[in-house]
Amino acid sequence: MLISCSYCNRLHSRGENCPNRPKNNSRKKETNIITKFRSSRIWQKKRHEIKIRDKYLCQNCKKNGIYQFNKLEVHHITPISKNWNKRLKNDNLITLCCSCHKMADNEEISNTDLMNMIEIEKPVYTFRRPHNGLY
């Protein structure tokens, strides 16, 4: 039985593969410890925390006087694959827009520059006057 092909508009026998049919190159993503981590609740919470710290702005664009707040991603300055222990450290995470994140991954933005952009809040110390009135 012949059927009409949706790829080349010719007639083929049922079950015959058309040479114009696109190849299925979509391989399943490997599930490893890093991909599992990226979908974990602790990572989702940490990403949110870092975006709040960085005031929902791309830190590289902000340094250049541009306030980019769309398509934000949290970047690991030292990749997880190189140092697993730094995956949740605030001083290793920075908010970047999509294009700056690609530049950081391609090392067009140095890790030193990224580290210098992180604004880690310093603890505020308050001093109280002693109760006995002496200072």
Query: pTM of the entire structure?
Result: 0.67
pLDDT tens track, the chain, 135 positions? 888 888 888 888 888 888 888 876 655 566 789 999 999 999 999 999 999 999 999 999 999 999 998 999 999 999 999 999 999 999 999 999 999 999 999 999 999 999 999 876 555 666 666 666 555
For 128, the token pair is 């109280």
Q: What are phi and psi of 60, to 5 degrees?
A: -75, -45
Beta-bridge partner residues of 2: 13
Angle at the Cα of 109 (from 108 to 110), degrees rounded to 5? 110
